[in-house]
Structure 1
């Protein structure tokens, strides 16, 4: 078994190396090819006049049109202005929305509502943007409004990524890609590749990000979606720089400037991120004056145009630049500003990473109280449920994706000329890789099956112990109540030695324990703010009490209450454990079955469906015996 395992590891490493080598040889050629196609598209733009219309031309057309044609022209005006002037883009989009509602043009109405959500995203208002997006999602279907469907799901992936909810971002991107491939929808493919490129860029897997970026660029050029050309060139430059090819990155920005001379400039939204990325490149090249020049321009554009989610990264770059020039004081100031900006848009991944950096910087400058403060912030966010990526789910999604890609490549390679030795060897390597995965899955299944059984037995045992303890605690509480009546007079004579904070904490704890008995946690809308209102305190105090006394954050605390309650009820109530899993989840406060499964498995190590099935089977066996 050990020898087989070593061989498997060796083959996996060989496979990864061959893929990496092949990618390095081809991505530069791919970039050149795509840039040549962009040049050709722009050089022959007179043949595609509808795709290169200016604001002035569209405004002139709008005055002559009515009905759906006028709405479509207003939506084009939004597209032309979205990266140049949010104010103008919103004005044209609002006019299109109102007109579409008036005449019952559903497609135009849904497109305009998506545009509303995207403008909110640009401004960093992720919560409101997601609310509008969810409203449109209830109506839009891939079969009826394919482009709006693709746009909406891409925007969801973007928002999840910016919030640091990377598992949801990846899931949404892969889901859209599957739909696009099945329907052979080129626009959907373009948008799916954009969402995946955005995701991998944020988790710093630059090789994958570049691969998806180039795939998306292919469809941008083919479909002549001119507004995406500038962002794609910028992304390529940024990713090649992160892959330590700064020369190629600067060449890409030179190409960007050449394109800017031939067609309308991209606008402040794109220009701000270009300046940031160029500053990043110059920082890595130790060209600090150039870096500061571009970074100053980026900060001005971000603040002037209220590009909230761009501000934290610009401040981080400024902080890194100060570190490079040995100015630790100003570096700390900018890291703290970046955290403040990130908190305003709920970008908790930025808060998490920067708080760790600040903890180290304060430690180095011997400011231990501040170091402790930021270390505590970092640990609390790192351990919170909100930022806990569902690693197993991501691995499953990635594995499915890889197997699908491998299968597709295999079919293509089998149809090609068998005389091409390199490709034949590659096919063989892929087949071996698939066999290794299959063998590993079989082995893992057998191992997991045994492990799940042990976890089930342990859960049953612990639940029974918990029920016994609850009965004893109830008896003790009754006795304690009698004793309390006798000691009330004595305790009233003693002076309080606790602080006001301890009194508040004890009051909150007592109220919280009463709420627990009332099963407040099975309310699906249960939140920190809601519970704080019930307890007549503020969310901050409640959060501190739960962290200190329950040794947990709020979400983990709620999940623990729900799962404990569920286990007890499953053991006692035969009808309940024979209910549908969706009903079981809803009855303890979970509207989403995936969330319920994840919470149960995180705590018990097994899925609830497995636990319930085993419990039912054991009950049947007892009846038979």
Structure 2
């Protein structure tokens, strides 16, 4: 009875609070209501923020104000979980579909992108950001263009492309004018400092962290202060000042965990790395296991989780705790699958150390061992024999694959040397194409829409593009190339497909890989570069993309190819 009474009392108190709040809100205009909502939302006062958003939407509907109804839906979605939030954004899209001006639908796509980003659907987030950017450019809305660009930069930073993201953050931080408000300006500074830490621009990162901590806006906003505490801790971790890092990260974690903010996982990761560097594995395990617990509840991942599960698996393997080892292998495989779906690549080191097939095999061995624990003494010889056979099988399988890769590399080298000799005799300096393009089977199956004179002009431009090695420039897209040769993407795509026998991406990759194959044979200095430098030299943003394209085209890897060149020179 007492419990029921307390519940009823709480219910009527909340009704009384809401009614009093609504009575006070009647005195405020839309801008004042938005400001009040932002204060509550940033302070994680969800109930108060919901009361304001509900009143805002009701007021706008009563006044039949379309733009304010849309803003009401926007406020409402901010305080709801994903399914309900998405419905409010759909309502926003519906109410604004006939609105004239330069804000919608670009703003709707950006808001939807933010929602997907918040709930870790990075592909959907990026798709919506790109649509938002396209509409913003069509409508020439500088603010919307900036918001879309900044959100894509946030996404790039999350995906590890911090050098690219830093350029965008720095540009808008220094050239924001009236585009961003104080909060957005500060978030760009936070993100820029983070990017600088990741790309080892320590002095620049330190400058922006101190600037942020000293700004009046941050000093009066506890959430933002703790963001800078986290960044400062990360900076200390980067510079190996572990005790200072732990002190600041612990403060940040206390705050973020108290409001159940996802930043707590990034802080936990940095704390775990501090203790890992201090060789205090027990403390590192404490923080890494807490990350796993949090991720299991929210299903929100981040790229560094691979490091976390690698450490946990190794730790419990070393300690002979097979049940926990098995548990974290399962967790790693689930996270790895999601990350693989979200990103085009994972950490090379993680794949080398724990590639999926080996983990699955290890999982099966452990399961069988645990099931047969009572009879282990009787079957140990059989298990050891099986393991030995498996290891032998994988060893010879690996050796066979390596031998095949070396043979492919040797054949390529001989082919290139032969073609270079022929090219020298014909005085043709054009980079040798190692493989003939795939020919179109039947001209009658191809619908030609490009006028003949335009087609010939594009083909001349493509010859110029190839002969002058413009394909080595970074960031080339179908759109940028079409713009450079003064045509449209449809014509250019059709010409490449019909005359080169491949799509644009394959065409660009083939030119770059053919150039690399040729230069590695001819140029000792080029061959001495590290793989990341070679990748950058021929237009790739990262070594993973280069390696994938190289392997796809040739059937071998860049490192094996270079080793075989060195061997052929010595012989």
Task: Compute the TM-score of the two structures, normalised by the length of structure 1.
Answer: 0.49
Q: What corresponds to 1:333 in structure 2?
A: 286
Does 2:28 match 1:72? no
Does 2:223 match 1:272? no
Q: What corresponds to 2:252 in structure 1?
A: 298
The within-5 A match list for 1:121-520 is: 125-141=81-97, 143-144=99-100, 147=103, 149-217=105-173, 220-260=176-216, 263=217, 265=219, 267-307=221-261, 309-349=262-302, 353=306, 354-383=308-337, 388-389=341-342, 402-404=477-479, 441-442=496-497, 446=501
Q: What corresponds to 2:76 in structure 1?
A: 116
The within-5 A match list for 1:7-156 is: 70-87=29-46, 88-120=48-80, 125-141=81-97, 143-144=99-100, 147=103, 149-156=105-112
Q: Identify the range of structure 1 (100-109 vs 282-291) with the bigger mean alpha-carbon deviation.
A: 100-109
CA spacing shift, 1:328–1:146, aligned 2, 3 Å: farther
Measure, in 1, the Cα distance between the counterparts of 2:228 and 2:318: 33
Contact 1:316 1:334 in 2 (8 A): yes
CA spacing shift, 1:141–1:226, aligned 2, 3 Å: farther
Measure, in 2, the Cα distance between the counterparts of 1:74 and 1:162: 24
What's the CA shift for 1:205? 0.5
What's the CA shift for 1:117? 2.3
CA spacing shift, 1:144–1:266, aligned 2, 3 Å: farther
Q: Give the SS at the match of 2:177.
A: helix
Question: After superposition, what is the alpha-carbon deviation per residue over 1:124-174, rounded to whole angstroms, capped at 9, x for unaligned?
Answer: x44543343334333334954754744442343234335443332222222
Q: Give the SS at the match of 2:146.
A: helix
Contact 1:97 1:112 in 2 (8 A): yes
**What is the total number of aligned residue pairs between the two structures?**
349
Structure 1: give runs of 5+ residues left out of the alignment: 1-61, 393-398, 412-430, 452-625
Q: Give the SS at the match of 2:215.
A: helix
Contact 1:339 1:351 in 2 (8 A): no
Q: Give the SS at the match of 1:223.
A: coil
Contact 1:71 1:99 in 2 (8 A): no
CA spacing shift, 1:347–1:289, aligned 2, 3 Å: same
CA spacing shift, 1:264–1:373, aligned 2, 3 Å: closer
CA spacing shift, 1:332–1:444, aligned 2, 3 Å: farther
Contact 2:86 2:112 in 1 (8 A): yes
What's the CA shift for 1:322? 1.7
Measure, in 2, the Cα distance between the counterparts of 1:136 and 1:318: 41
Contact 1:275 1:294 in 2 (8 A): yes
What's the CA shift for 1:266? 5.7
Measure, in 1, the Cα distance between the counterparts of 2:344 and 2:495: 18
Q: Identify the range of structure 1 (165-174 vs 75-84) with the bigger mean alpha-carbon deviation.
A: 75-84
What's the CA shift for 1:339? 1.8
C-alpha RMSD of the superposition = 3.8
Question: After superposition, what is the alpha-carbon deviation per residue over 1:376-401, rounded to whole angstroms, capped at 9, x for unaligned?
Answer: 332244346x9524859xxxxxx998
CA spacing shift, 1:176–1:77, aligned 2, 3 Å: same
CA spacing shift, 1:325–1:352, aligned 2, 3 Å: closer
Contact 1:312 1:341 in 2 (8 A): yes
What's the CA shift for 1:65? 8.3
Question: After superposition, what is the alpha-carbon deviation per residue over 1:340-370, rounded to whole angstroms, capped at 9, x for unaligned?
Answer: 2122222145696343442233234443332
What's the CA shift for 1:323? 1.0
CA spacing shift, 1:291–1:231, aligned 2, 3 Å: same
What's the CA shift for 1:93? 3.2
What's the CA shift for 1:208? 1.4
CA spacing shift, 1:142–1:264, aligned 2, 3 Å: farther
Q: What corresponds to 2:350 in structure 1?
A: none
Contact 2:74 2:88 in 1 (8 A): yes
Q: Give the SS at the match of 2:75.
A: helix
CA spacing shift, 1:405–1:255, aligned 2, 3 Å: farther
Task: Compute the TM-score of the two structures, normalised by the length of structure 2.
Answer: 0.53
Q: What corresponds to 2:559 in structure 1?
A: none
Q: Give the SS at the match of 1:379.
A: helix
Question: After superposition, what is the alpha-carbon deviation per residue over 1:29-56, rounded to whole angstroms, capped at 9, x for unaligned?
Answer: xxxxxxxxxxxxxxxxxxxxxxxxxxxx
Measure, in 2, the Cα distance between the counterparts of 1:80 and 1:147: 24
Which has the larger helix fraction?
1
Q: Give the SS at the match of 1:138.
A: helix
Question: After superposition, what is the alpha-carbon deviation per residue over 1:288-344, rounded to whole angstroms, capped at 9, x for unaligned?
Answer: 22212221221122123232x222222212211221221212212211211221222
CA spacing shift, 1:136–1:336, aligned 2, 3 Å: farther
- Larger RCO of the pair (alpha carbons < 8 Å, separation 6+): 1
Q: Give the SS at the match of 1:104.
A: coil
